[in-house]
Structure 1
Amino acid sequence: MKKLLIVLAFAGISFTAAAQENEPVQKYSVSTNSFWSNWFIQAGGEWQAWYSNQEHGNGLARSPFKKFRSNPGVAVAVGKWFTPGLGLRTKLQGFWGKTVVDEKYSGDNKFWTLDEHILFNVSNMLLGYNPKRVWNVIPFLGGGIGRSMTYNFYAMNLSAGILNTFRVSDRVAVNLELGWNRYEEDMDGASFSKTNRRGWEMKDNLLYAEVGLTLNLGKTGWNKTPDVDAIKALSQAQIDALNAQLNDANAENARLRDMLANQKPAETKTVKEFITTPVSVFFNLNKTNIASKKDLVNVQALAKYAKENGSSINVTGYADSATGKSDYNQRLSEKRAETVANELVNMGVNRDKITTAGKGGVNELSPISFNRRATVQIAE
């Protein structure tokens, strides 16, 4: 029983240390990957200590490093993660064991064990999925079958332990594993007596420590689930921008119809009134890039007039007051004005002829989303 307590103590230390990692938490939903994603293989060397059922009551030393009970071993495994916190692996380990009766008698026992393990990545479960986390703590439970090749015996077994992986890159990790295999009593080939035996002392037990490498295969990591609400908000912002453009176009058409109905002889004055009317360029929510390049058609006409007449241009940026804090909206409106000014420069307008200003968040237009814009106007 002392050996079991030692294993549990190691597990507790590993879990506590991992919980104290000072790293950013990334808790978000992930999408299910294909069957061929997130596979891995492992290989490592082990130090194995055998505690046979025959030694109970013999007063043997409990150290796992005693020569009569310890031998090196090897292990290979292949597995797959189905979620960031849950996986399966198939593990083969052996191959040099011990038959331990007492300190004066122990023999070699060549064996192999094939187990299926359920893996629980508690680091991802409790701290949130983080593909760059250096240390992951992964308890496991499972069972399988073992065979003593020396004595030609087969035995069922249960297994438990804790796997620690230390990230080297997206493909490679160093792993340190502590585990316990509990076999039926005939695994080591020695006879069994039921006299005064309880629990694990009625069975053959293998404690092991393993150091090895993990190699991730194929696609690794998990894709973040799309934020449906954000996508809907973006689509709505684009619809609002189109509605704003349509309303502006309707207003401009109405104004032009009114001008035609009351046309004055001075055509040049009419043209000037048309050119000096503010032109709106719209933006999506929280964006500084122009929502539609079609908005620049009227801006080009205005830029042409300014170049031909040496006129100055005023560009004023706005944000809607319904979203964002005032200082953020101020910066956003200034950046939107600068974006349009850069477009005017690309059209051949001298930068010295352009004045920019930001008005921050406003609610001059209805609906409120129409205020995500910049206006361009010939200076009086």
Structure 2
Amino acid sequence: MKKFLLTLTGVLALSTAYAQTDENMNDTNATTSDYNRWSVEFAGGVNKFQRPVTSGYYTSTPSFYNADFGVRYMFNNKFGLKLDAGYYNFTEKDGSMPFESHYYRADLQAVANLGRIMSFETWTNTFGLLGHAGFGYGQLKAENKDFTDRMFNFMAGVTGQVRLGNRVALTGDFSTVLNARQDKTWDGQSNANVGRGFQGILFQGTLGLAFYLGGAEKHADWFAMDSMLQQKVDELEGRIATIETGLTDSDQDGVPDMFDAEPNSMAGVAVDQKGRTIDRNGNGVADELERYFDTKYGTGSGTTGSGTDVKSLINDGYVNVYFDFNSSTPTTESVAGINFLVKYLTANPSASADVVGYADEIGNSDYNQTLSQKRAENVKQILVDAGISGSRLNIKGNGEDTSVNKSSKGARQIVRRVTFQIK
């Protein structure tokens, strides 16, 4: 026990010299408002005196009762001071001579937050550990005895903590009190007749509550710079991830999604600085695509206003949506076909369309019929989500397309599709 007390005393003695330095170091990273520093503490429990004691007088092991009250201030999240007072009642055990005595003490103690020193935050945010040691003053009195024995004391102990919330913690403490200049025995019935030094010994164990004061979220007991820095790192990583996601160019038009007003523009067509398809005549067809159609198919009196019959191109199967084997979700590359129809139907509000699904010949015919229907339904849902009224879209599942060589993988890819018929 003496070795333990000497070790604990050494640690806490260093804390008083180091507290101001450590506070300045911490304050380079944390401000006073980052955590609360004050707390008030109430506890009660049991005790057991060891010596000096009059022969024939003794108490239970442990003996009830004692009570503690303290006020603590933390210089930083590792070191602090507390002023506390205690009251102890001693009465006889069965077989002892009758007596009743009372001990009062007040102590100023250095406190070390062992939980932070040993980085408890790396494995728990619920349990903590404090060490404390210091000097004080005590008085011993006994019933029916006319004396007051005044003495000095040294006190040291450890306090376990269970965090119940940001404002309160459950505490469990074990401490030893050593008295110097104790003239009377603990029972108060005789003179102590002890030598010089700390000869009086008293043990105590208590349970209590610590209430944290202040406007910050956490108290110094539970504040860890490492965890705060990790939280900031996590926040920065989240922001970076958001930016990285926003910089993705889903439609590959050269404008990142976070700045793209039209993130599903047709691949390969020119867009403005906000990612919007350039459509100067407002007919729902990209100008660049119109020029391509005019060059490839000649001029005429089509719906584009520049010679291209866009309706015929759609109905003739130049606009399709393709699917992987046994999938009802369109491939990423073919979503541009859906966007083409969205633009046409938006520019021509009186038009409607059949959405026609197909499957290849691999597998059961009934299953393929259902699959073709699901493909058409999924494409319709994408069109509806893009702002086209569902009443303008008619679903058809045409089952297997037998027009290609079913033993050809490439040919089968062509017929796993959804086509459109403008009406």
Indicate the TM-score class for this superposition, using the shorter chain for normalisation. Answer: 0.5 to 0.7
Matched, 1:206 2:214: no
Equivalent residue number for residue 47 of structure 2: 49
Distance 1:302 1:183, change over 3 A: farther
Aligned to 1:246: 254
Matches within 5 A, 1:52-201: 53-55=51-53, 61=58, 63-66=60-63, 71-78=65-72, 90-97=81-88, 107-115=101-109, 116-120=111-115, 125=121, 127-129=123-125, 136-148=126-138, 153-165=151-163, 167=164, 170-171=165-166, 173=168, 175-183=170-178, 185-186=180-181, 193=194
On the 8 A contact 1:147/1:154 being kept in 2, the answer is yes
State the identity as a percent: 8
CA 1:250 to 1:107, structure 2 compared with 1: closer, same or farther past 3 Å? closer
How far the C-alpha of 1:273 sits from its partner, in A, is: 6.7
Q: Are the counterparts in 2 of residues 160 and 179 from structure 1 also a CA contact under 8 Å?
A: yes
AA of the residue aligned to 1:93 = D
Alpha-carbon separation, structure 2, partners of 1:351 and 1:77: 75
Alignment of 1:266-345 (within 5 A): 266-268=300-302, 269-272=308-311, 277=319, 301-305=343-347, 307-312=349-354, 340-344=382-386
Shift of 1:171: 4.8
TM-score by length of 1: 0.52
Stretches of structure 2 that go unaligned for 5 or more consecutive residues are 5-28, 140-147, 186-191, 219-226, 256-264, 271-287, 303-307, 322-337, 358-374, 398-416
| 1:221-232 to 2 correspondences below 5 Å | 224=231, 225-226=233-234, 231-232=239-240
Q: Which residue of 2 is the match for residue 350 of structure 1?
A: 391
Unaligned runs of 5+ in 1: 5-31, 130-135, 280-295, 316-332, 357-374
Partner residue, 2:26: none
Q: How far 1:179 moved relative to its partner?
A: 1.7
Aligned residue-pair number: 279
Residues 308-360 of structure 1, C-alpha deviations (whole Å, 9 max, x = no match): 22114589xxxxxxxxxxxxxxxxx99x978744433x45342754789xxxx
Secondary structure, in 3 states, of the residue corresponding to 1:258? helix
Residues 170-215 of structure 1, C-alpha deviation per residue, up to 9 Å, x if partnerless? Answer: 45546241321343534787767459x9xxx855333131333535
Considering only aligned residues, what root-mean-square deviation do their CA atoms show, in Å?
Answer: 5.3
Which has the bigger relative contact order, CA under 8 A and spacing at least 6?
1
Q: Secondary structure at the match of 1:241?
A: coil
2:247 alignment partner, SS class: helix
SS of equivalent to 1:251: coil
Structure 1 residues 156 and 238 mapped into 2: Cα distance closer, same or farther (>3 Å)? same
Offset, 1:159: 2.1
Q: 2: distance between equivalents of 1:58 and 1:47?
A: 26
